[in-house]
A and B are shown apart, each in its own frame.
Chain A
Amino acid sequence: MVNAVGKAEVERPSLAHRISTTLYSKPKLRLRLLLSAPVTWLGLVYIAALLALLVTAFFTVDSFTGEIKPGFSLQNFTDLFTNSLYSTVTLRTIGIALGVTIVDVLIALPIAFYMAKIASPRTRGILLISILMPLWASYLVKAYAWRSVLSNVGIAAWLLRPIGLDTPGYSLLGAGITLGYLWLPYVILPIYASLEKVPSNLLEASSDLGAKTFTTLRKVVFPLILPGIVAGSIFSFSLTLGDYITINIVGGASQMLGNLVYGNVGVANNLPMAAAIALVPVVIMFGYLTAVRKTGALDNL
């Protein structure tokens, strides 16, 4: 020990050593250094971009030169509310998002219930992995897969025509089916997680007290898993609102909000209008989140 100290006095401490000592004695400086790079990145790249998007929504575009004119104008928002194209597409998008969410929840309930309350632990593990696996496959690939399934010469037509039905083809229904398929695992998992937490003896107590199965489901199980259902619905609702790839791939000519945003960024070159439209799903989502906050679903995400 004495030697070590003596040696340190003879040799001048290296620069790295001095920095290390300074850092050790100054935790606040350490924190600042840790945070500086990532916070600069996220702040400059992302938060600034989001704020700029918000501001750009109030800009306009010169119809002759196509150049963006900074300033404060509500023109884009007036267009958004008065132009029937925008309101139709907004309503259609909300309608699809609601439909997809309701169908996904209805499909997820029985499968989540089977996994959590009926299947043996071994089967449960296998089912969980089977449901998680497709989540890892690319979203684009899955949408494309439905393009093959729904095609006029595809497997859906082959299966359904003999029984007098036909493939929905590339249409709003086709897009709805594909979106429902894409988000289903996101809806199943939180519902399963909340069902798993419902103690089985609570269900027994309910039936001991004379409740029929359906009454138990409605009065005991449902209130307990409601946050899980809402958490799942947030995923499917929000993901559908922002989608524009799936509708391009399997939706035929129909448009959703995302298409309008993309069209205004690319072909129409009207970034301010695109920004204004992009705010619509954000506002709807904030409204939805505020509405469901009371259920405690946000802690379940």
Chain B
Amino acid sequence: MRISKPAKWILATITALILTVIYLPLAVVFINSFNTSINMDWPPPSFTFMWWERAAQSTGLIDALITSLIVAAAATVIALVLGTLLAMALSRYKFFGRNAVSLMIILPIALPGIVTGIALNNAFRTLLGFQLSMATLIIAHATFCIVTVYNNALARLNRMGKSMEEASADLGAGVFTTFRLVTLPQMLSALVAGGLLAFGLSFDEIIVTTFTAGGGTETLPIWILNNMFRPGKAPIVDVVAVFMVIVSIIPIYFAQRLTANESKN
């Protein structure tokens, strides 16, 4: 098949155009966070750091950030433990119901967020009689974060193979010693990558969050949602939006680097 020069140029132009559209809205938010106009007039009449200073001084905002960090950290820890256990079970054993278990792991992320959200909301409130709180939010986040840890850990365990663990057992190491000295060190970077992804996933999440957080629990995404429609708040929301992109890109960037190095080795 020959692709003519003009056709190549047209495709290249379309590609460039789409990429521009992909980055344009994010660039607009970034620029607007320095826009002096409180209504976010475009083009910006002038630029200022005022909104960033105000955001840094807002106690409600800092509280929301702390809540987000606590929720993401707690959900990540739970997901790390459960995801690692699942990966070890599914990579090292063949058993009845194996497919059902792996389906169960991806289901919370495969179903629309609204279904997961309302199912958990219903279970917490009506079935268990819990008040929605930060704890219910952490449980919900941990549930859909398991899959990222599991995927990373499973890929690593499958690549590692069993030979080192078997050698360790042959040399007399017990089950725990083998895990501590042989399995865990080899899995570590995959677990860090999975944990970072889980952290980013939880930090950004909004749909399941709106259904499972208690009234007093305000995460950063909920703060954005609550303030987006308030008059005069747009500039600070822009600042928080830029901040959130940065905070979620950093862990995911490191996670990608960890797994990228691995595929080179």
Contact = CB atoms under 8 A, between A and B. Distances in A.
Determine if chain A interacts with chain B: yes
Nearest to A259: B114
Q: How large is the interface on A (under 10, 10 to 19, 20 to 34, 35 or more residues)?
A: 35 or more
Among A34, A46, A155, A243: residue with most chain B CB under 10 A = A46
Interface in A190-221: 203-204, 206-207, 211, 213, 216-217, 220
Contacts of B116: 46
B146 interface: yes
B22 A155 contact: no
Contact of A130 (B22, B25, B32, B238): B22
Contacts of A149: 24-25, 28
B115 A282 contact: yes
A245 B139 CA distance: 22
* Interface SS majority for chain B: helix
B213 to A, nearest CB: 13
21 contacts: A20-B176, A24-B169, A24-B174, A27-B93, A38-B83, A46-B116, A46-B119, A52-B126, A53-B118, A56-B122, A110-B14, A114-B12, A118-B3, A130-B22, A138-B248, A144-B241, A148-B234, A213-B1, A242-B114, A244-B114, A278-B114
A258 B93 CA distance: 40
B65 interface: no
B29 A145 contact: yes
Interface string B3-29: 110011001101100110111111011
B224 interface: yes
B28 A153 contact: no
B28 A148 contact: yes
B217 interface: no
A278 B120 CA distance: 13
Contacts of A241: 112
Interface residues of B, number: 86
A48 B82 CA distance: 18
* Interface SS majority for chain A: helix
Contacts of A48: 123, 127
A242 B113 contact: yes
Contacts of B93: 27, 31, 34
B256 to A, nearest CB: 8
A238 B107 CA distance: 13
Given A136-B252, A149-B24, A181-B22, A141 B244 contact: yes
B200 interface: yes
Contacts of B121: 265, 271
Contacts of B41: 153
Nearest to B11: A114
Interface in B77-132: 81-83, 85-86, 88-89, 93, 95, 101, 104-105, 107-108, 111-116, 118-123, 125-127
Interface in A223-248: 238-239, 241-245
B206 to A, nearest CB: 5
A35 B85 contact: yes
Nearest to B209: A140
Contacts of A185: 22
Interface in B171-216: 174-177, 200, 203-204, 206-207, 210-211
B225 interface: yes
A41 interface: yes
B167 interface: no
Nearest to B23: A134
Contacts of A127: 15, 19
Interface string A262-287: 10010000010011001001100100
A45 B3 contact: no
B249 interface: yes
Nearest to A301: B110
B134 interface: no
A23 B122 contact: no
Interface string B213-241: 00000000100110010000010011001
B56 interface: no
Given A20-B175, A43-B104, A149-B28, 11 more contacts: A38-B85, A138-B221, A139-B206, A140-B221, A153-B37, A181-B25, A207-B1, A213-B4, A262-B210, A278-B119, A282-B111
